[in-house]
Copies of this chain bind each other. A is one copy, B any other.
Amino acid sequence: KSMKTLKIGLLGLGQVGSGFYSIFEAKHKSLSQKCGAKLNLAQVAVHNLTKKRKVRFQSSLLTKNALSVVKNPEINLVIELIGGIHPAKELILTALRSGKDVITANKALLAEHGQELFREAQKNGRHLLFEASVGGGIPVIKTIREGLVGNEIDSIQAIINGTSNFILSKMTEEHLDFAEALRLARKEGFAEADPTLDIEGIDAAHKLTILASLVFGGWVPFQAIYVSGISSIRSEDIEFADEFGFKIKLLAVAKKTKSGVEAHVRPTLLSDSHVLSRVNGSNNAVLIHGDRVGDLLLCGQGAGSQPTGSAVMSDVVDIARLRASSSENPDCTISSKVLSVRNASSLLSRYYLRFHVVDRPGVLSKISFVLGEYRISISDVIQKERRDGRIVPLILLTHPTPEQSIQDAVKKIDRLAVTQGKAQVLRIEES
């Protein structure tokens, strides 16, 4: 019996593209058998035709014209690995409108324009798969969509930015300050020249947008996600947190509550007994809670050429399987219905507050007076080294309090004569 052929057009041959290509070369023959369709790489669009590359190539496959690939009537599947918003968005839209399935690893694009892209996929009866957009080689999208298909997922807690996790881990393990840890991350290739997207939590929020939209069955707007990065974390915060039995992690959280969806990315104190507190280095981890399976943890390499290429490859095989059987029934989109996201300021949580105060009698009472005004109650206090008249750190942990009260109280305390600079405010996530 004759096998169908899946003709693939690849856009981009950078980090992820070349990782995917090397896997494709090694495995496409055996996988063609497995999925019942011949996997054929028909065209590869690159920016620079003459660049020397690690991967070896039939040069006839290469083109500079990405648009010709997405319009090529021979091609059934387009893999977008060029990144960025433009022209990636237009290329994907054109591919879908030309009746091609699409695979992308582009989390920024999906987070910002996913609604439109998935709607277009649905309209054209095409698949738009995106396993590689979250968690690198960890099959988190497939697990949510297929493995846990019998579950209502009510919460996700995730460490989904390797750069930030590497920096926080080094600050914790080697007592580095932020700048030193960032330098190390750059040196070891875990941070880019401009690390803003990573350290300010934006990359994690892009990924959280995708995860939250997927599990809650509607679109969670990227703009509605509260985002705070790790650049304000000092080594003293990490040390004080440790004294109370916590680790600081850049945590992405999505929860379904009676009053709406909760979604935020922020540096967070996690108890040492919390399973995510032990995920170190550049690793990613996703903790999913389903009503039937309970807690499920996935942990692995969240970035890198080969792990991310591996995720792209699994999408290719899924497309091939679906198309081999000529199903015209794609269900792999995210509903474009917009979900309402709760304002972060209304959320209740315990908090870690670090003030720099003048070490003078009555300071604690002044601060706790203001906290009392906002009905904030304190569970723990650390005040180190008594040095009369000098500036010393004062750390308070609160009982559960609405964020708005914390922000208001801290603003007032920051204006007191006994405090210096701005307070550090970190959320404590109970397991």
The chain A residues found within 8 Å of chain B, CB to CB, are: 19, 23, 27, 31, 34-36, 131, 136-139, 142-143, 146-151, 275, 278, 290, 292-301, 306-307, 309-314, 317-318, 321-322, 324-327, 329, 331
**What are the residues of chain B within 8 A of A34 when measuring CB–CB?**
149, 331
* A143 with B150: CB separation less than 8 A: no
**What are the residues of chain B within 8 A of A149 when measuring CB–CB?**
27, 31, 34, 313-314, 317
* B297 with A293: CB separation less than 8 A: no
A-B contact pairs, 26 of them (CB 8 A): A19-B292, A23-B150, A34-B149, A137-B290, A137-B293, A137-B294, A138-B293, A139-B143, A139-B147, A142-B146, A143-B143, A146-B146, A149-B317, A150-B309, A150-B312, A150-B313, A275-B299, A292-B306, A292-B309, A293-B300, A293-B307, A295-B301, A296-B298, A297-B298, A297-B299, A297-B300
* B139 with A318: CB separation less than 8 A: no
**What are the residues of chain B within 8 A of A301 when measuring CB–CB?**
293-296
User: How far, in angstroms, from A42 to B312 measured CA to CA in the complex?
Assistant: 38
* B150 with A139: CB separation less than 8 A: no
Evaluate whether A150 and B314 lie within 8 angstroms (CB atoms) in the complex, with A137-B292, A322-B325 already known.
yes
* A294 with B290: CB separation less than 8 A: no
**What are the residues of chain B within 8 A of A278 when measuring CB–CB?**
275, 278
User: How far, in angstroms, from A300 to B292 measured CA to CA in the complex?
Assistant: 11
CB closest chain-B residue, reference A36: B329
* A143 with B147: CB separation less than 8 A: yes
Other-chain contact of A138, B296, B311, B314 (Cβ < 8 Å) = B296
CB closest chain-B residue, reference A298: B298
CB closest chain-B residue, reference A317: B149
Other-chain contact of A324, B23, B309, B327 (Cβ < 8 Å) = B327
User: How far, in angstroms, from A325 to B322 measured CA to CA in the complex?
Assistant: 8
**What are the residues of chain B within 8 A of A325 when measuring CB–CB?**
322, 325-327, 329
Query: From residue A394, how far is it (CB to closest CB) to chain B in Å?
Result: 34
User: How far, in angstroms, from A154 to B311 measured CA to CA in the complex?
Assistant: 18
User: How far, in angstroms, from A31 to B322 measured CA to CA in the complex?
Assistant: 18
* A142 with B147: CB separation less than 8 A: yes
Evaluate whether A331 and B143 lie within 8 angstroms (CB atoms) in the complex, with A296-B299, A297-B299, A300-B294 already known.
no
Evaluate whether A296 and B292 lie within 8 angstroms (CB atoms) in the complex, with A142-B147, A325-B326 already known.
no
Evaluate whether A290 and B317 lie within 8 angstroms (CB atoms) in the complex, with A35-B331, A36-B327, A325-B325 already known.
no
CB closest chain-B residue, reference A297: B299
**What are the residues of chain B within 8 A of A293 when measuring CB–CB?**
136-138, 300-301, 306-307, 310
Query: From residue A372, how far is it (CB to closest CB) to chain B in Å?
Result: 40
CB closest chain-B residue, reference A23: B150
User: How far, in angstroms, from A142 to B298 measured CA to CA in the complex?
Assistant: 13
Query: From residue A261, how far is it (CB to closest CB) to chain B in Å?
Result: 19
Query: From residue A169, how far is it (CB to closest CB) to chain B in Å?
Result: 14
**What are the residues of chain B within 8 A of A23 when measuring CB–CB?**
150, 292
User: How far, in angstroms, from A151 to B24 measured CA to CA in the complex?
Assistant: 10
* A310 with B151: CB separation less than 8 A: yes
**What are the residues of chain B within 8 A of A312 when measuring CB–CB?**
150
**What are the residues of chain B within 8 A of A292 when measuring CB–CB?**
19, 23, 137, 306-307, 309-310, 313
